[in-house]
Amino acid sequence: MHSTLMVFIDGVGIGEKDYEKNPFFKYNFKFLTEYFEDIPHIDNQVIWKENAVLFPVDPIMGVPNIPLSGTGQTSIFCGINAQQILGQHFGPHPHPDLKPLIKEKNIFKSFFDLGLKATFVNAYPKPFFDYINSGRRRLSVTSLSALYAGLELRRYEELKNGNALSAEIDNSIWINKFSYDLELIKSETAVDRLLAISKEHHFTLFEYFLTDHLGHGRHKDQFDNWIKTLDDFLFDLLKKSESLEDFTLLICSDHGNFEDISIKMHTLNPSLSIVVGKNHKHFYERIKNLSDMNETILGQYR
């Protein structure tokens, strides 16, 4: 069985070579400096390794103005140009007019329609379920796609048993904000859990959204801790993925933001993507904008 793992990281683009406003240069991220032995920037957007490639993806897709998450994520997970369909960039949540398309075309449903196994590994705390049980559905494209496809969202029990990941990777928010009885886990432990789950499925999704929060200037007190955790996680994930057989890792984003902390808004920069595995060259050749990801992933199984 070929397994594809998508790690979606909200709001990460390829920016300028600037050691003050670009955190990838300022903080010397080891998943770039040690794994790729280089840091991408506007004049250096494609970096190759033997079994991996880092490259830019167009998030604007012919629609002027700054890209936003609602349309960008719909384009990624549904394989459509949501920006063009809507006539504008929209976010952070999907526009009501896009919800029927998300219900019909989301990537989880597409895998299920092929008779294949797909899963979403993020766990959600009780306040989230209280919110959706109240009848409100102002949800992200990822959680909405999972619910539309009939997936059972993972909860505290799965997280405690090691069968899910928290959105912040190490369980720290669940512990400090929600007072859950959980262990603070290392990034390597999170990677091992994620890979174990992905090996049991044809498609697995993990979503990390704190980069977009940091790019908007929020949670400044957590900046150093969160980026260290993310960097360790990505480094370990890349290292462990490159030796796996019948496996493709896609790390991707919906728009730029985090790569320029001198402003508190999204950027016009290309979004950052990384592919590891035997199909990395094919992914690089096929994926030019956000809408290309869905069919490129599914094409491995058709």
* Cβ contact 40:48 at 8 Å: no
What average pLDDT is seen over the chain?
96
Tell me the per-residue pLDDT of 264-301, one tens digit each, with 9 for 90 and over. Answer: 999 999 999 999 998 999 999 999 999 999 999 999 99
pLDDT in tens, 181-205: 999 999 999 999 999 999 999 999 9
The structure tokens listed for 209 are: 């959204």
Answer yes or no: pTM beyond 0.75. yes
**pLDDT(218) > 90:** no
The two most distant CA atoms of the chain are separated, in Å, by 50
Question: How far, in Å, CA of 210 to CA of 230, rounded?
Answer: 9
DSSP state, residue 220: G
Band of pLDDT at residue 136, cut at 50, 70 and 90: low
State how far the Cα of 127 lies from the Cα of 129, in Å rounded to an integer: 5
How far lies 27's CA from each of 24, 56, 194, in Å?
6, 21, 26
Residue in the structure block whose two tokens are 């980026």: 227
**Is-contact 2 199, C-beta < 8 A?**
no
Q: Which two tokens stand for residue 32?
A: 């770039």
131 or 146: whose pLDDT is higher? 146
Query: How many alpha carbons lie under 13 Å from residue 18 in its C-beta half-sphere?
Result: 12
Query: Contact, 189 vs 195, CB < 8 A?
Result: no
Distances, alpha carbon 63 to alpha carbons 8, 89, 286, 299, in Å? 22, 7, 21, 26
Annotate 101-135 with b (16+ C-beta within 10 A) or e (fewer).
Answer: bbeebbbbbbbbeeeeebbbbbbbbeeeeeebeee
Q: How many CB atoms lie within 10 A of CB 92?
A: 16
Instruction: Give tens-digit pLDDT for 232-275.
Output: 999 999 999 999 999 999 999 999 999 999 999 999 999 999 99
Which residues are within 8 A (CB) of 204 and not within 5 positions of it... i.e. 6 or more apart?
A: 3, 4, 5, 6, 118, 119, 120, 121, 194, 197, 198
Q: In the CATH hierarchy, which fold is given to the domain comprising 3-298?
A: Alkaline Phosphatase, subunit A (3.40.720)
pLDDT band with cut points at 50, 70 and 90 for residue 302: confident
